[in-house]
């Protein structure tokens, strides 16, 4: 009678793969959710801009150089690997979503977060340096 041999290395490998899969799934869902929430906020005009230095350079949506429709198009082109999450440096509990999206030869940088009372708050919408 064949006995099933217990192989700890296989087990570790299996759980490792599971963890990586879950992590990737989590990242993908976070990207998809952030992107769709941003697009929805832009589509209905439920967004604001963080007041900052160099507003006219760093947030072209705030000063009307680019339109909400243009930013929606950029976000639709973004893929999972174009998205990063980080904590806001003014408040660790707020997650900031950064996207790098390509439009022709230009690489655009979009940075925004969500807070309860407002839809989306944009920090940056500009061509990447």
* Binding site residues, other proteins, CB under 8 A: 44-51, 53-57, 61-65, 68, 88, 90-91, 93-94, 115-119, 121
Shortest Å, Cβ 15 to other proteins: 38
What is the signed CA dihedral for 12, 15, 18, 24, rounded to 10 degrees?
-70
CB 82 within 8 A of CB 101: yes
- Report the residue number, 8 or 92, with the smaller CB distance to other proteins: 92
Shortest Å, Cβ 74 to other proteins: 17
Shortest Å, Cβ 88 to other proteins: 6
Shortest Å, Cβ 11 to other proteins: 44
Rounded to whole angstroms, what are the CA distances from 115 to 16, 37, 77, 95?
35, 12, 24, 9
Give how far the C-alpha of residue 109 lies from the chain's centroid of Cα atoms, to the nearest Å: 11
- Report the residue number, 24 or 56, with the smaller CB distance to other proteins: 56
- Report the residue number, 91 or 106, with the smaller CB distance to other proteins: 91
User: End-to-end alpha-carbon separation of the chain, Å?
Assistant: 67
- Report the residue number, 39 or 68, with the smaller CB distance to other proteins: 68
Strand partners for 102: 107
């Amino acid at each position: 009678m064949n006995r099933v041999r217990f192989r700890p290395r296989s087990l570790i490998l299996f759980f490792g793969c599971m963890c990586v899969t879950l992590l990737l799934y989590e990242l993908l869902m976070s990207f998809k959710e952030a992107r769709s929430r941003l697009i929805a906020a832009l589509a209905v005009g439920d967004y604001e801009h963080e007041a900052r230095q160099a507003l006219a350079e760093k947030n072209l949506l705030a000063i009307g150089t680019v339109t909400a429709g243009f930013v929606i198009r950029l976000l639709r082109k973004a893929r999972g690997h174009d998205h990063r999450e980080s904590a806001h440096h003014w408040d660790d509990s707020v997650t900031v979503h950064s996207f790098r999206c390509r439009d022709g030869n230009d690489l655009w940088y979009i940075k925004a977060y969500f807070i309860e009372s407002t839809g989306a708050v944009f920090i940056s919408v500009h061509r990447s340096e």
